[in-house]
Amino acid sequence: MLSLLFIILFFAVFGKMVSFAFKATWSIFKVVMYLVFLPMIIIGFVIGGFIYIAIPILIIIGIASLFAKA
């Protein structure tokens, strides 16, 4: 009986740890995308001659950052 209780509680704790790991990974991924890859993509657009795509993206991100919760 104790073994069954141990197994149930073990999977409950393990499930919460896995859930926390996915949430932490998703948060870290978002930070990396916004701080590293988005500026690299914008710079790539400008270097590649796609400034007419880069400017509207910068405007949209600028307006969204004004209204976003900090």
Q: Do residues 42 and 54 make contact, with C-beta atoms less than 8 angstroms apart?
A: yes
pTM higher than the cut 0.85: no
Task: Provide, for the chain, the percentages of residues in helix, strand and coil under a 3-state DSSP scheme, each rounded to the nearest 5.
Answer: 90, 0, 10
Q: Say how many domains are in the chain.
A: 1
What pLDDT does residue 68 have? 81
Structural domain boundaries, residue 21: 2-67
The mean pLDDT values, 10 residues at a time, for the chain of 70 residues are 90 91 92 89 90 90 83
